[in-house]
């Protein structure tokens, strides 16, 4: 079976499993939206202030809960499953790509739901023409964060403290993604160009994809 | 290190495997030609599962040398033969959120096998009426039957069975016996491990004992 067919099959099954289990849509998204409600209360912000902090809260919660979305596959991994895929002849790089594909779809859904909730709850004063750049920034951030989570899952596979370690790996390395995505709106508000920030996001996604595909085999072998 | 003759399906020469700095296998020698079935008995913790994972090319030797399907263990060449190796692990390796049928279709697509065989295989292993039951709602025996169907579909040349008969009814045990017979008749080799030597003698040409990481002839 070709590389892309294997990746597509891994991705298809992962989305089917999510539809049945509902980690993202039944657990992570509702909790993230509740956090949107709680955030202003914790900060003691008044109604005027709420509209100002909306986008920042969106990106902060996006990265926080997005890590849960990105690491959900690693949490469901097991030695038996990894051995099974190896003996079925699955290319570890195809597995990485497949997981990143399905994870990105879920992450985009998660960010879309969080963005819609933020706009409804915070009524932020978004600059003119924000829709296109915001979609581009969110999609690129979703892809990058998923790649990072998938890669962190591979790096920590087989380790006892896997879940804690994976989050600690993702958080600092996601910095270019958060900066790039949040600065897109800032740049629009100040009429500056958004291209540098979009390029930062795209370059980060590309670097993570190259690292994930290139390291998939050595990481899988090292995990046993 | 001198390797055993090329051509044998499994050739292990003075192999040692350390896990976390602790020697699990020591000085293991095992040579298997085609159509051979060998049983390895041993107590819990004697290294049986490690031996199977070594032969499955999933672990590299810490010392010594070996070949499986003419590929040197620990070399990148083993990636090319992994799809010719089939293993039933101690814990069933299936996706719990999928039905029995979906598991088999998934495995057939990933391995490049004919998806059209799935319905026939479900009948062969007696799962045709439970094909749409999710694996996590199925008994251990049913999950094992899915594994047997997977191995019938992928036709491995090296079949590795880790306590495969444990906890199964007689009908499911017969299915695994048939899987062993089929692998042997196609010229493949079977290595089965169990703590129960009597069970192994019923299927194997030769039964060895693994004691403290060393493989010995059964007395």
| C-alpha to C-alpha distance for B41 and B51, rounded to whole angstroms | 11
With contacts defined as CB-CB under 8 Å, which chain B residues touch A83?
53, 56, 58, 87, 89, 93
More confident residue, B53 or A49: B53
Give the contacts of B6 (CB within 8 A, at least 6 positions apart). B67, B70
| C-alpha to C-alpha distance for B68 and B78, rounded to whole angstroms | 8
- Local structure of residue B94 (DSSP, 8 states): S
Q: Which domains does chain B have, with CATH numbers?
A: 33-58+79-210 (3.40.50.300)
Minimum distance, in Å, between the CA of residue A96 and any CA atom of chain B: 14
Tokens of B113: 């096998």
Task: Give percent of chain B above pLDDT 70.
Answer: 96
Q: Within 13 Å, how many C-alpha atoms sit on residue B97's CB side?
A: 14
For the CA atoms of A114, A120, A121, A124, the dihedral, rounded to the nearest 10 degrees, stands at 90
A5-33: pLDDT as tens digits: 999 999 999 999 999 999 999 999 999 99
Split into its structural domains, chain A has a count of: 1
Interior/surface letters B124-139, b for 16+ CB within 10 angstroms, e for the rest: bbbbeebbeeebeebe
Query: Do the chains contact at B87 and A83, CB–CB below 8 Å?
Result: yes
Q: Which candidate, A38, A93, A122, A106, places its Cα nearest to that of A221? A: A93
A124-181: pLDDT as tens digits: 888 888 999 999 999 999 999 999 999 999 998 878 788 788 888 888 899 999 999 9
B97-116: pLDDT as tens digits: 999 999 999 999 999 999 99
A178-219: pLDDT as tens digits: 999 999 988 998 888 899 999 999 999 999 999 999 999 999
What are B86's strand-pairing partners? B159
B83 reaches A (C-beta below 8 A): yes
For the CA atoms of B161, B167, B169, B173, the dihedral, rounded to the nearest 10 degrees, stands at 10
With contacts defined as CB-CB under 8 Å, which chain A residues touch B95?
13, 17, 81
Q: Which candidate, A53, A63, A71, places its Cα nearest to that of A172? A: A63
Domain that holds residue A112: 3-222
Q: How confident is the model at residue B219 (pLDDT cuts 50, 70, 90)?
A: low
B106 reaches A (C-beta below 8 A): yes
With contacts defined as CB-CB under 8 Å, which chain B residues touch A90?
110
Say if CB B41 and CB B219 are below 8 A apart.
Answer: no
Query: Is the ipTM of this structure higher than 0.95?
Result: no
**Stated pTM of the model:** 0.90
């Amino acid at each position: 079976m070709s590389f892309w067919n294997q990746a597509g099959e891994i991705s298809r099954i992962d989305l089917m499993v999510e539809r049945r289990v509902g980690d993202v849509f039944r657990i992570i998204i509702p909790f993230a939206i509740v956090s949107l409600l709680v955030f202003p209360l914790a900060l003691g912000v008044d109604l005027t202030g709420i509209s100002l902090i909306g986008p920042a809260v969106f990106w902060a919660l996006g990265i926080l809960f997005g890590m849960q979305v990105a690491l959900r596959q690693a949490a469901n991994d097991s030695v038996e499953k990894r051995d099974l895929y190896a003996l079925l002849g699955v290319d570890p790089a195809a597995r990485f790509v497949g997981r990143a594909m399905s994870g990105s779809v879920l992450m985009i859904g998660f960010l879309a739901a969080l963005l819609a909730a933020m706009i409804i709850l915070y009524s932020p004063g978004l600059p003119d023409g924000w829709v296109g750049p915001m979609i581009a920034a969110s999609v690129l951030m979703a892809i990058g964060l998923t790649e990072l989570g998938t890669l962190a899952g591979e790096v920590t596979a087989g380790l006892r403290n896997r879940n804690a370690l994976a989050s600690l790996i993702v958080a600092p390395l996601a910095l270019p993604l958060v900066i790039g995505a949040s600065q897109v709106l800032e740049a629009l508000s100040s009429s500056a160009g958004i291209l540098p920030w979009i390029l930062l996001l795209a370059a980060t996604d590309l670097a993570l994809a190259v690292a994930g595909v290139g390291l998939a085999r050595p990481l899988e072998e090292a995990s046993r | 290190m001198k390797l055993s003759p090329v051509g044998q399906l499994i050739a292990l020469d003075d192999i040692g495997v350390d896990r976390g700095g602790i020697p699990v296998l020591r000085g293991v020698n095992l040579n298997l030609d085609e159509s051979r079935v060998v049983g390895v008995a041993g107590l819990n913790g004697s290294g049986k599962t490690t031996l199977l994972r070594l032969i499955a090319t999933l672990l590299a030797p810490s010392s010594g040398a070996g070949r499986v399907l003419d590929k040197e263990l620990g070399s990148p060449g083993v990636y090319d033969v992994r799809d010719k190796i089939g293993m039933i692990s101690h814990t069933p390796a299936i996706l719990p959120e999928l039905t029995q049928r979906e598991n088999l279709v998934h495995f057939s697509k990933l391995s490049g096998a004919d998806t059209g065989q799935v319905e026939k295989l479900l009948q062969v292993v007696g799962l045709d009426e439970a094909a749409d039951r999710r694996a996590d709602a199925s008994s251990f025996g049913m999950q094992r039957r899915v594994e047997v169907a997977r191995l019938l579909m992928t036709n491995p040349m090296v079949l590795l069975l880790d306590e495969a008969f444990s906890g199964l009814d007689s009908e499911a045990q017969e299915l695994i016996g048939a899987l062993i017979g089929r692998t042997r008749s196609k010229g493949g080799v079977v290595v089965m491990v169990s703590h129960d030597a009597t069970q192994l003698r019923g299927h194997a040409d030769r039964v060895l004992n693994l004691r403290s990481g060393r493989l010995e002839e059964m007395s």
